[in-house]
Amino acid sequence: MRAPAGNEDALRESIVALGASLFQRGFSVGSAGNISVRTQDGFLMTPTNSSLGRLDADELSELDAQWVHTAGPKPSKEVVMHQAMYQARPQAAAVVHLHSTYVTAISCLDQAQPIPPLTPYFIMRLGREVPTVPYYKPGSAAVLQDILAAGRRGPAVILANHGSIVAGSSLHDAVNAAEELEVSAQLAFLLEGRATRPLNEEQIQDLLG
């Protein structure tokens, strides 16, 4: 898939602006989290140990279509997770990995389906479900196959004891979906132990079209 309309400078500025927005609102802290976007020739990615709140548009990592680092600072050690999501979702134009508070808390629970489909926005942005993959050491290449399988089921994946990784048809779509996942996780915690009314199958099918 080719990069969406817009030049590379615009993509760089969007990474910086949206990264800062996520950081300022507490979706990432310190140097946690990373972002990648497709370009005409490969990918742009936030550098290793960089803060989403303090990115420089001229200091992003450049990778070719085979994920070989070609220019700029060394990319995030989570390259394999991004690679797996793009492979799983060929139409994706961007991927966002966050350690947001409620999703990370959910990722530490021993539950197969921790976030129920409570709102239409969950379904519209995240699909029928958000699968969880087992724990892997951050940066481990061994995670690829599990994320590849989970990413084929939907655009968002929870990483056990770690956080989330979310793909979108644009960087804005990926960020919106990652934010929706965090809010959905927060709702799951707020409603824990109460009788809830998840969307039924007919309602889900209507939203999925």
Which CATH number does the domain housing residue 42 bear?
Answer: 3.40.225.10
Q: How many residues does the chain have?
A: 209
Residues 6+ apart with CB under 8 A from 186: 102
Phi and psi dihedrals of 177, rounded to 5?
-70, -40
Q: Residue 116 phi/psi, 5° resolution?
A: -75, 160
Q: What is the pLDDT of residue 87?
A: 98
Cβ atoms of residues 174 and 167 within 8 Å:
yes
List, in sequence order, the alpha helices (H) in 25-71: none
Quick check: 3 pLDDT over 50?
Answer: no
**Does residue 6 carry a pLDDT above 80?**
no
Close Cβ partners of 193 (under 8 Å, ≥ 6 residues apart): none
Query: For residue range 21-72, what is the model confidence (pLDDT) as tens digits?
Result: 999 999 999 999 999 999 999 999 999 999 999 999 999 999 999 999 999 9
Give the count of domains, the chain: 1
pLDDT for res 127: 95
Better-predicted residue by pLDDT, 60 or 110: 60
Confidence of residue 2 (pLDDT cuts 50, 70, 90): very low
Could you confirm whether 121 is annotated as catalytic? yes
Q: Give the active site residue among 86, 102, 121, 136.
A: 121
In Å, the largest CA–CA distance within the chain is 53
86 in catalytic set: no
**pLDDT at position 5:** 39
pLDDT of residue 110: 83
pLDDT tens per residue, range 171-188:
999 999 999 999 999 999
Whole-model pTM: value is: 0.94
Tell me the per-residue pLDDT of 67-109, one tens digit each, with 9 for 90 and over: 999 999 999 999 999 999 999 999 999 999 999 999 999 999 9
pLDDT digits (tens, 9 = 90+) for 113-153: 679 999 999 999 999 999 999 999 999 999 999 999 999 99
Structure tokens at 167: 């793909």
Exactly one of 78, 129, 179, 182 is catalytic; name it: 78
For residues 6 and 108, what is the distance between their CA atoms, to the nearest angstrom? 39
Cα 165 from Cα 157, distance rounded (Å): 5
Which residues constitute the domain of residue 126? 5-208
Q: Is 96 helix (H, G, I), strand (E, B) or coil?
A: strand
